[in-house]
Structure 1
Amino acid sequence: MTAPARARGSQELIRAEEPVLAHNYHPLPVVVARAEGAWVEDVEGRRYLDMLAGYSALNFGHRHPALVDAAHRQLDRLTLTSRAFHHDRLAGFAERLAALTGTDMVLPMNTGAEAVESGIKVARKWAYDVKGVPADRATIVVAADNFHGRTTTIVGFSTDETARAGFGPFTPGFRVVPYNDLGALEEAVDETTAAVLIEPIQGEAGVLIPDDGYLAGVRELTRRAGCLFVADEIQSGLGRTGHTLAVEHESVVPDVVLLGKALGGGIVPVSAVVGSREVLGVLRPGEHGSTFGGNPLAAAVGTAVVELLETGEFQRRAAELGAVLREGLAALVGRGVVGFRARGLWAGVDVDPALGSGREISERLMREGVLVKDTHGSTIRLAPPLTVTGEELRGALGTLEKVLTS
C-alpha cells in the first residue's frame, strides 16, 4: 500500500469522492486498496472476506495468477487493433469459448449490457431475415423483476421503477410477463415474437431460482412457437452455479447465450453473445460492432478464463462448496434468516426485517470483516469467489450468525 493511501483514511477518501463523482452508486463505506484471492484490504490495512466477488465478475478471485500472467504477457505485445484488422488472439479465443459453451459462433463485446443489447439486435435481425416477421413488428418477451443492464433500451423493459423513472421515452417491442410462469409466457408469444429473453436465475431480484422444469418448458415453448430462447447468463454463467452455464441444470440448450462479468477475469471488461450459426450468421459487416470488442488484451484474458473452466475444477468447487453454503444457511433459518435460495456458490438470503434492512445487515457484516451487498428490502446476496475455501466460507457463515443473533 502506498504512503499517501495510508496517510488518508477511508472516511477522508470517501468524502473526497463526493464532489467529483456522479452519485449513481451507494457503496458500502470501505475503501479497498489491495486484494488477492477471496480477500481485500482497505487503505488502513483492515482485511475483509469478499463474499460478493464483483457480482460474479471475480469468479476466480482477485488477481488469479493465471489471469494476471496472461494480461501481463499480452500487455507486452499488443493491446488494441480495433476490428479494422485481424489480430492473432481473437480466433483462438472464439473457438475455445464456442467449444466450452457448445455453440457455433461468438460475437465478442465488452460489458454485459452490450451483450444484452447485441442479443436484442441479433434476435430482431433473425426475426426479419429468417422467421419473416414484417419490418419493425418484432417483439421480445421478457420477465418481470429482470435485470439485464442499465442502458435506455434495457431499463425500458425493467419493472424496477428506480431504474426506469426519469429515463423515458422507451424503446417499444417488449412484452413483460411474470417470471417462472409458463402459462403467462405462452399467452404473450405470437407470430411477431423474435425471442424470449430471460435470466435462468434472477440475480438482482434476490437470486430467484425457477421451479424445476421451467427452463425446459421455455425451451420447448420457444421451439414450438418458432422463436429464439435467449439466456442471460452474465451473472449465472461460467461456473457460478456448479455448471458452466446455469441452463445445464435442466440440460437445456438455448439458441443464444449472453456472457460477461467473469469472462474478463476481474481484469478487463469482456462479454460475448454465443449461439448457433443460423442465428449469429445473420449479421453482416457494418450492421453491428465495437472498437474494443474482442481486443487482443480481452481475448488473451478471456482465453485464460476459458482454460480455467475447461478443467471442470471450478464448476466442481461451486457444486461442492454450494452444499456447505446451503447447509450453513439452513441452520440459520428461524435464527434471523426467514428464507433463502441457493444454487452453487450463489445465494439470496432473506433476513428478518425486524433485524434491519439488507443495507444495514451488509454494513454490520462489513464491520465484522465480511463484504456482501443487499438487493432489495431485507435481502442480501452471497456470491463468493469460486476460489474460496470451505474454512473461509464457514467463517463467513459464522459471522452472519453472529450479526443476526447478537
Structure 2
Amino acid sequence: MTDTLAAATSAPRATVTQERKIVTSIPGPKSQELHARRMAVVPPGVSSALPVYIDRAHGAIVVDVDGNQFIDLGAGIGVTTVGHTEAGVTAAAAGQLDDFLHTLFTITPYEEYVRVAELLAEHTPGDHAKRTVLVNSGAEAVENGVKIARKYTGRRAVAVLDHAYHGRTNLTMAMNYKAAPYATGFGPFAGDVFHAPSSYPYHDGLTGAEAAARTIAYLEKRIGAVDLACLVVEPIQGEGGFMVPADGYLNALQDWCTANGVVFIADEIQSGMARTGAYWASEHFGLVPDLLLSAKGIAGGLPLAGVTGRAEIMDAALPGGLGGTFGGNPVAAAAAIAVFEAIEQHDLLAEGRRIEKKLKTRLTELQDRYDIIGEVRGIGAMVAIELVAPGTADTTKEPNAAAVSALAAHAAANGVIILTAGTYGNVLRFLPSLSASDELLDDALDVLAEGFAAL
C-alpha cells in the first residue's frame, strides 16, 4: 500500500472519537444546504430517514458535514457490522485497488472470488459440498436463489411468508408483504409468488407446531408441493419488525420442504454475518438451509452478495446462466475476506451476544416503566421493541406508529440514529455495529429513555 493510501485509510480512524457530540441544530446548516442541492437532482422516491449528510465515520460513530457525531444504531441497515472503516477491511480494499479493479470473473477469474466462496462454504451451516455465486446486492441474491431453485426442481411457484421483505426488483417486490412504498404503482409484478402465514408469537399466540401447521396447510392447499420450487424465509424477519418465530416453527417448515423436494432458502441478508452472535441466524434454530443468501454485512460496506448452497442444486444452472458484470468485484471480495478475518480476530460473535445482553436489559427496564412497549425481541445485535397504544400491550396490541416516529426524531435530534420498521410502522430496531461499546450503548439508551419520558 502506498503512503498516500495509508494516510487516507488511517485518517478517519484517527479523527473520529467514539463519543456522541452535537454542535449544531439537526440538520445543521451544511446538511441543509446539501439537502437543497439533493432535492433538485435526486427523485423523492430515493428518500432518507434523516437528512444529515455524512462526512466520515469510524467504529460506531458517524460524523456529519457540520461536525455532529452520531451514535449509529443502524449500521446502514446492518451493513457495517464490523464497524465503520474497520482497519483490516479498508486496508484490504485499498490494497486491491492498487492491483486491479475489474476483469469480470466470468471472463478472467481471480483468487479473491474463490476465497470468498471457500469462506462461505466453511462458515454456512452443514458439512455438505457447497457452491457460491457472488452478485451485487441482496435483491439480486434473492432473484438468483429463486431462479436456481426453479432450474433445479423444474417447478414454477415461489412461497414467502407474511411480513417478509426481500427487495425492490420486480420479482422481490412481488415477494414483499407490504406494498407501500416498495411496490405501489410499479406493477405488473412477477407471477407464481404466494404469501403464506408466518409465525408472529406476540400477535398470534401460536406455538411453533401450530404456526407451522397453518403455514404448511396453506402451502399444500393453495399451491401444492408438486408445483412449489422453493420456500424463502428470513429466519428473523428484518423490515417486518425483527420477528423471532416460535420454537420449532422453522424446523417444521424445513422438514416439510425436504420431504417434498422443495428448496428451503434462508434469506440471511440482514440477519447474517455475525449479526446475531452466530455467523447466521439459522444456527440459532438448528437449520441447514438448501440455499443461503448473504449480503449487507458481508463486505463491510462495499456492494457484494452471494447465494451459497448445496452443490447439486447450484450445479443445475448451465454455464453462463449465472453471473453478472460486477458480481464478485475484486475490491468488494477482498473486503469480504477481511470481514471474515475481523470476525475471528476480534471475536465478534461474542460481541454480538454482549450487545444483546446490554440492549435487552436496558429495553426491558424501559418496558417495565412504559406500557406502550409491547414486546422486546431479537437475537444478538438485532433487537427491536414493538410499540402499542397505551393499555393494549396484553389485549388488542394496537400499533403505535406515532410514538415510534416521535422517538426516532428525538433520538436523531440528540445524536442517536435509530431505525424504524414493522409492517405497521410501530417497531424501533437496533442494529449497532459489533464494535459499539457498552458506554456508547448506554449513552444512546439514555437518550431513548429521555424520549420516552417526554412522550
Q: Do Structure 1 and Structure 2 share a fold, with TM-score over 0.5? A: yes
Residue deviations 1:28-76, cap 9 Å, x none? 1322111110001111111110000111111011100000000010000
| Worse-superposed segment, 349-358 or 18-27 | 349-358
How much does 1:311 deviate?
4.9
Output the amino acid matched with 1:119. G
Structure 2 residue corresponding to 1:278, chosen from 292, 295, 312: 312
Mapped pair 1:384 → 2:432: yes
Mapped pair 1:330 → 2:376: no
Residue deviations 1:98-128, cap 9 Å, x none? 1121461111111000000000110100112
Partner of 2:242: 207
How much does 1:385 deviate?
0.3
**In the aligned structure 2, how far is the partner of 1:200 from the partner of 1:210?**
8
Task: Work out whether residues 139 and 169 of structure 2, in 8 Å CA contact, stay in contact via their aligned partners in 1.
Answer: yes
Partner of 1:259: 294
Structure 1 residue corresponding to 2:347, chosen from 313, 319, 331: 313
Mapped pair 1:51 → 2:51: no
**In the aligned structure 2, how far is the partner of 1:219 from the partner of 1:38?**
36
How much does 1:318 deviate?
0.4
Task: Work out whether residues 350 and 378 of structure 1, in 8 Å CA contact, stay in contact via their aligned partners in 2.
Answer: yes
Partner of 2:173: 155
Output the amino acid matched with 1:195. C
TM-score of the aligned structures, taking structure 1 as reference length? 0.92
Partner of 1:185: 215
Task: Work out whether residues 357 and 379 of structure 1, in 8 Å CA contact, stay in contact via their aligned partners in 2.
Answer: no
How much does 1:157 deviate?
2.7
| Worse-superposed segment, 161-170 or 147-156 | 161-170
Matched residue SS, 1:347: strand
Indicate how the Cα distance of structure 1 residues 222 and 310 shifts in structure 2: closer, same or farther if over 3 A, else same.
farther
Mapping for residues 294-313 of structure 1, pairs under 5 Å: 294-311=328-345, 313=347
How much does 1:312 deviate?
7.5
Mapping for residues 5-404 of structure 1, pairs under 5 Å: 9-24=30-45, 25-82=47-104, 83-102=106-125, 104-128=130-154, 133=155, 138-162=156-180, 163-180=182-199, 181-187=211-217, 188-189=219-220, 190-266=225-301, 268-311=302-345, 313-336=347-370, 337-352=373-388, 356-376=402-422, 377-404=425-452
Output the amino acid matched with 2:146. I
Output the amino acid matched with 2:179. E
**In the aligned structure 2, how far is the partner of 1:185 from the partner of 1:127?**
21
Task: Work out whether residues 165 and 175 of structure 2, in 8 Å CA contact, stay in contact via their aligned partners in 1.
Answer: no
Output the amino acid matched with 2:320. G
**In the aligned structure 2, how far is the partner of 1:165 from the partner of 1:91?**
39
**In the aligned structure 2, how far is the partner of 1:142 from the partner of 1:310?**
33
Output the amino acid matched with 1:107. V
Residue deviations 1:333-373, cap 9 Å, x none? 04343322121111122235578342322111011111112
Output the amino acid matched with 1:21. V
Task: Work out whether residues 134 and 323 of structure 2, in 8 Å CA contact, stay in contact via their aligned partners in 1.
Answer: no
Matched residue SS, 1:285: coil
Task: Work out whether residues 108 and 271 of structure 1, in 8 Å CA contact, stay in contact via their aligned partners in 2.
Answer: yes
The gaps in structure 1 that reach 5 residues or longer are 2-6
Identity of aligned residues (%): 32
Output the amino acid matched with 2:367. V
Indicate how the Cα distance of structure 1 residues 174 and 312 shifts in structure 2: closer, same or farther if over 3 A, else same.
farther
Output the amino acid matched with 1:345. A
**In the aligned structure 1, how far is the partner of 2:246 from the partner of 2:426?**
23
**In the aligned structure 1, how far is the partner of 2:297 from the partner of 2:445?**
24
Partner of 2:396: none
**In the aligned structure 2, how far is the partner of 1:159 from the partner of 1:249?**
24
Output the amino acid matched with 1:161. A
The gaps in structure 2 that reach 5 residues or longer are 1-11, 13-27, 200-210, 391-399
Output the amino acid matched with 1:98. A
CA RMSD of aligned residues (A): 1.9
Task: Work out whether residues 115 and 259 of structure 1, in 8 Å CA contact, stay in contact via their aligned partners in 2.
Answer: yes
Output the amino acid matched with 1:13. L
Output the amino acid matched with 2:434. L
Task: Work out whether residues 106 and 273 of structure 1, in 8 Å CA contact, stay in contact via their aligned partners in 2.
Answer: yes
**In the aligned structure 2, how far is the partner of 1:41 from the partner of 1:320?**
25
Residue deviations 1:142-185, cap 9 Å, x none? 10111011101111132212122211111111111111231233
Partner of 1:4: none
**In the aligned structure 2, how far is the partner of 1:357 from the partner of 1:327?**
21
Matched residue SS, 1:340: strand
Matched residue SS, 1:273: strand
How much does 1:310 deviate?
4.0
